[in-house]
Structure 1
Amino acid sequence: MGTSDNYRIVSPELTVKAMRDSGYKNTAYALAELIDNSIDAHATLVEVFVCESPIKVSQRKSHRVDTIAVLDNGDGMDVDTLRRALKYGDGLGDDRKRIGRFGMGLPNATMSQCTKVEVWSWTNGPGNALYTYLDLDEINMGQVDVPAPVHKPGGIPDRWRTLSDGLGEHGTLVVWTNLDRVNWSGAAATLKNTSQLIGRVYRHFINDNTVEIRMAPVREDKVVDGEYRVEPNDPLYLMESTSTPEPFKAKPMFEPFEMGGPEPGVMPFRVKAANGSVHEVRIRASIAKAESRLRDVAGAEWPASATASNDAGKQVWGKHAGLNTGVSLVRRGRELDLDHKWIIGYDPVERWWGIEVDFPPELDEVFGVTNNKQTATTFSSLAHFEWQSEADPTESFSSFQSRLEEIGDPRLPLLELVNYLEFKLLRAMRERLRQQTKGNRSALKRHDDVTSKASDVVKRRRDEGHAGKTDKLDQVASEEEKRQEQVESLTQLHLDIDRAELMVDEALKNDWHVRWVSSPLDTSAFFGLKLMAGMMQVEVNTRHPLHDNLVAVLDEVPENITEADLKRRLEKASATFKLLIYSWARMEDELPDDDAREKLAETRRDWGFKARRFING
């Protein structure tokens, strides 16, 4: 059967136009594709030049980016490799050992930002560089082949020789011109918005000294003030030298979160690929150190430059953490995406945890990696996935998995991993972080009046001859014994040792005999009670719905809350309190006989009497 251009399945000019809308989030993500190629070519230095030229805006002179170039000292390419590198869907083939394996990166990224790309590559000195290019105008006029690479006299242009800091005997230079889709107009803005992303995407390579990435703004063919080496931007905040602001620039702001794995903060998972082979996925987790969230940690107080607010999220390092929220998805050491779908609304604790899911390229299909390497669609779709919502009423998790296997559901290989992330790891991390700020001086101060009032009632009841267990234990325990017992009780509730010691010291100094602590408890009870020498400790169960619907509604009120939101909170608390009383009433109602009902009613009357004493003082 003959062929005709009229029946060509894919029109080259329309295909390239479609590729221009291939979904790169911004210029930084497109540049990352070129850096992928440099790292795959074993480059130790990658230089990004953003060149601007003068333009006239109204009556003033301004500058706009007109050229972006990426130069590396990698292996360089021969004629065939260079020509294939500019071909859509070819590149260097499906090589799972490379960061880039889809054969789309260079032409795809280029056409998403500009209409012309020029490439020089050399293996024997920049003077012997091969040259080729792609031009959208020529493609629209019918060009279907990548121009054959040629040796241009003199090799790479002098402009780039002068600007480069590490021109090597082998390497590659990619130059974008006719920029029509770049997100930022000035060189400084382009680099500022690029460096944080590039620092995060390649943080492991930079931190391991595998590669240096130089950012250089250029004006009138000269590097202007402001060039720099990209620093790692670690969303887990475990690296020691990063872009994090002081006082955490040269030390970790977070610490590993223990998961019971083979090493602190690491949990391996075995995941099956489409071909049946099994590969390891490593989960790394971290949470903020107390000193990053609390102003008054002994020996690690906040610097004088910190703002007056005690809200760590309003400090420069807290704002930095706020830009790094989500689960970091890493493929072969290179971050694909910081997936924000795993975050729960606007919760202040979300910025204070970090999770990295590191998987090998052999699991690309399982995770759903896109060809522009910006996300993994299958993994992302499983954020907040509750298997029970799709399961039959009597179906167990294992039965649900078996059914998905029968129908070939692509989500199956990741179910155990995401179930662990959502319902075990993240839940534990959030609870630990909420406990972290309990007991700081500002929190204690908010409860001083209630604690003092309740303690006074306890002491009066004792003096009136109504001694409780805590009073009797107090008579035989030393101050140090009381302190040690109380500190241990608080650390068992997952409070940091420094927070626990502060709370106990405050209580002993003020002669307090009551303490209110919120903590996740393994019980259906709303609260637990620990009676110690001189201390009646009420432990409110954060896993009970009464906590979120009553205690937290009244106790965790944002500083900038609106009048309408405050009214809604009060209405919610009032409704919850009424439901609480109704639940007691129903408990009495369901007792099997009148004697049991009378005993509980007597308890209710006695509680009411004591409540009057505590409330009225």
Structure 2
Amino acid sequence: MIIPPNLAIRSLRDNGYKNAASAIAELIDNSIQHKSKNVELVCLEQDIQLKSSVRSQLHRIAVIDNGSGMNEDVLYRALQFGNGTNLNPENQKGMGKFGMGLPSSSISQAKKVEVWTWKNGLNSAIYSYLCVTEIEKGIMTDVPEPISKEIPSEYIKISNLMKDSQSGTLVLWSNLDRCNWKTATSIFKHSESLIGRMYRYFIDSKKAEIKFLAYNTSNYDKPTINVLAKPNDPLYLMSNTACPDPFHDKPMFEKWGNDIIYPVKYGEIESQIKVRFSYSKPESRANVRNAGDLPYGKHAKTNIGISILRANRELLLDKSLTIGHNTRERWWGCEVEFEPELDEVFGVTNNKQYASNFTEVASIVKGVEDNLISKEEINDEFDEEDPKKVLVNIILDINSKLSTIRSLIQSQKEGSGGEKARHTKDSNTPESIATDASEKRESEGKKSVSDNNPHIKDQDIDIVTEELKDEGLSEEEIENLIKFDEKYVISSTSLDSDAFFSVNVKYDKVLVQLNVNHPAYRNLMEILDDNELSTEMSYEERLKKASLGIKLLLLSWARYEDEQIGNFKERAQQFRREWGKVARDFMDIED
């Protein structure tokens, strides 16, 4: 015994699953791998008595399927770490491979996992389990031999699958000490999008139906949640998906070119990598007021990145080749598909959470755009026998094609009607409100430098564009400065400075660049915006953290002012008062 089980189990619990939804996906993998047509994700809540109220809290999680079930030997091996039925290369044609999924995902969230499985009706069910507490105490040193055991009646009652299936499996998690979401609603909210995206091809082709169910243990007659998972397609080429109206029943994007097949030879393996691209249809953006802020635009924002598919199941949405905070990134899609035989090439981890080689190479390729490395130097980064070498030219080609698609998206006209609607004086955007306030101050004789400058729209646009490009402004910043009516433009960028933001006057316009590298950006802007970071938190948590960020920003100024002496302190106090007067005019907004 090299590592005692009671010590190893603690390390195995920290196995890299991103969240409960990712761990649950491992169980769904097993279900689909074992020919399940239907899978139920069931959350059971229990009422907890607090001091002055009763609160429903997540109590147990179950995954039920109508697959082929397991015999005693398979169940025993399925609960062992590093064992299973897909360890031999000839069996590695589907999602399973590493023999870690069931036990590893389970103990990452719960202290106990129990399994009932049957091959000839419910009465044939056999049972075994793992218990972290028993392993830690040295009581459990091996997987208990499977025994015949009756399935708890409550699961038979709430599951439609069990009533009709001759074979299947029930996996039950209890003592959910590491589950980061505490209610069934949270599990559903965070799992719906991820699971819909991971298994979109199985759901869309009717090969699998995944249902979310939730019950309170005080009432097994009526579910509190009963929803079928819909495909969440980051390429937006499918119909009848989770995308909001009006693109729930029709594609929002169209294909760019044909699927590209890259032949791959690695050692004795000959395989292929398939890549496809998509981009927004004009109707999703033309003559639309601020499409990115509409429900379908916000939905697209959550799917930014390259979808890496392994055996038709998404591993991850890789953002290595995306352009930071460019809002147009949501309007393209890219999918890279491969089979498990190329796991070593892609660097697939045993929990199927990452494709580390793809991410590493893509991050280096991104350096070409940032002028950090040349294309020639990238190939020199890896030895010929390095599996990452296989990916270099493929990812370079993907990146080149994405540049072409970005130009196409940029050239799409969103329609003058939509732009005018977005930039009328009735708009409630910060830029529009600030423009009105500035005009009011100007009318009162409080002139600024930009007020006296020539209007940018009166200039030769081509000359101005080249001038602003030479100053390092992005295409989107230049477009916003030239095209829109407001005096102010806010953008997010990486500044080589300790400042939270910069202020640059460009003709009669003022460009405010927020520094994405500053902690204030992470603790204010990203928390308040809808993105992958903020959606992990409740609105209450986001507001609380943003409030903390604002207060710390004020207190940091107080400290700065307190550190000044003599005339510098008087000057800082005067700056504060003058800024307060301007802020009063800008923030005097009617409710």
Relative to the length of structure 1, the TM-score reads: 0.68
Mapped partners of 2:83, 2:421: distance in 1: 65
Q: 1:179 to 1:572 in 2, by over 3 A?
A: farther
Task: Say whether residues 1:235 and 2:171 are aligned partners.
Answer: no
Measure how far apart 1:233 and its partner are. Answer: 0.5
Does the aligned pair in 2 maintain the 1:126–1:156 contact within 8 Å?
yes
Mapped partners of 2:467, 2:336: distance in 1: 31
Task: Say whether residues 1:19 and 2:12 are aligned partners.
Answer: yes
Gaps of 5+ in 2: 425-456, 492-499, 512-591
Mapped partners of 1:183, 1:250: distance in 2: 33
Does the aligned pair in 2 maintain the 1:216–1:228 contact within 8 Å?
yes
| Structure 1 counterpart of 2:180, from 183, 194, 197 | 183
Q: What residue is the counterpart of 2:333 in the other structure?
A: 354
SS in 1 for 2:75: helix
Mapped partners of 1:186, 1:87: distance in 2: 29
Aligned pairs (5 A) from 1:307-386: 310-386=289-365
| Structure 2 counterpart of 1:156, from 151, 154, 160 | 151
Task: Say whether residues 1:414 and 2:409 are aligned partners.
Answer: no
Measure how far apart 1:278 and its partner are. Answer: 2.2
Mapped partners of 1:226, 1:55: distance in 2: 19
Does the aligned pair in 1 maintain the 2:79–2:143 contact within 8 Å?
yes
Mapped partners of 1:341, 1:558: distance in 2: 34
| Structure 2 counterpart of 1:271, from 235, 258, 264 | 264
Mapped partners of 2:504, 2:468: distance in 1: 21
Q: What residue is the counterpart of 2:203 in the other structure?
A: 206
Task: Say whether residues 1:135 and 2:128 are aligned partners.
Answer: no
| Structure 2 counterpart of 1:567, from 503, 521, 534 | 503
Q: What residue is the counterpart of 2:412 in the other structure?
A: 436
Does the aligned pair in 2 maintain the 1:554–1:569 contact within 8 Å?
no
What letter matches 1:249 in structure 2? H
Mapped partners of 1:223, 1:517: distance in 2: 67
Gaps of 5+ in 1: 1-7, 259-263, 297-309, 449-513, 519-525, 528-537, 576-617
Mapped partners of 1:382, 1:175: distance in 2: 39
Q: What residue is the counterpart of 1:451 in the other structure?
A: none
Aligned residues: CA RMSD:
3.5
Q: Which has the higher contact order (CA 8 A, sep 6+)?
A: 2
SS in 2 for 1:344: coil
Taking every aligned residue pair, what percent have the same amino acid on both sides?
38
Mapped partners of 1:566, 1:388: distance in 2: 25
Q: What residue is the counterpart of 1:77 in the other structure?
A: 70
Question: What do residues 363-418 of structure 1 show as CA deviations (whole Å, max 9, x unaligned)?
Answer: 100000011111100101122424997xxx99984x97478445x33321000111
Does the aligned pair in 2 maintain the 1:368–1:376 contact within 8 Å?
yes
Q: What residue is the counterpart of 1:586 in the other structure?
A: none
Question: What do residues 406-436 of structure 1 show as CA deviations (whole Å, max 9, x unaligned)?
Answer: 5x333210001110111x1110111111111
Question: What do residues 277-297 of structure 1 show as CA deviations (whole Å, max 9, x unaligned)?
Answer: 22111111111111111235x
Measure how far apart 1:541 and its partner are. Answer: 12
Question: What do residues 436-489 of structure 1 show as CA deviations (whole Å, max 9, x unaligned)?
Answer: 1365335589999xxxxxxxxxxxxxxxxxxxxxxxxxxxxxxxxxxxxxxxxx
SS in 1 for 2:104: helix
Does the aligned pair in 2 maintain the 1:216–1:223 contact within 8 Å?
no
Mapped partners of 2:478, 2:341: distance in 1: 48
Q: What residue is the counterpart of 2:284 in the other structure?
A: 292
Aligned pairs (5 A) from 1:368-517: 368-386=347-365, 397=376, 401=379, 404-406=382-384, 408-422=385-399, 424-437=400-413, 440-443=416-419
Task: Say whether residues 1:113 and 2:92 are aligned partners.
Answer: no
Q: 1:542 to 1:104 in 2, by over 3 A?
A: farther
Does the aligned pair in 2 maintain the 1:119–1:173 contact within 8 Å?
yes
Measure how far apart 1:16 and its partner are. Answer: 1.2
Does the aligned pair in 2 maintain the 1:214–1:230 contact within 8 Å?
yes
SS in 1 for 2:394: helix
Mapped partners of 2:251, 2:458: distance in 1: 33
Mapped partners of 2:157, 2:291: distance in 1: 45
What letter matches 1:228 in structure 2? V
Mapped partners of 1:445, 1:50: distance in 2: 45
Does the aligned pair in 1 maintain the 2:215–2:224 contact within 8 Å?
no
Aligned pairs (5 A) from 1:163-182: 163-167=158-162, 168-182=165-179
Mapped partners of 2:148, 2:65: distance in 1: 19
Q: 1:9 to 1:289 in 2, by over 3 A?
A: same
Mapped partners of 1:158, 1:335: distance in 2: 35
Question: What do residues 320-339 of structure 1 show as CA deviations (whole Å, max 9, x unaligned)?
Answer: 11111111000000000011
Comparing 234-243 with 87-96, which one deviates more in the overlay?
87-96
Measure how far apart 1:140 and its partner are. Answer: 1.4
Larger radius of gyration: 1
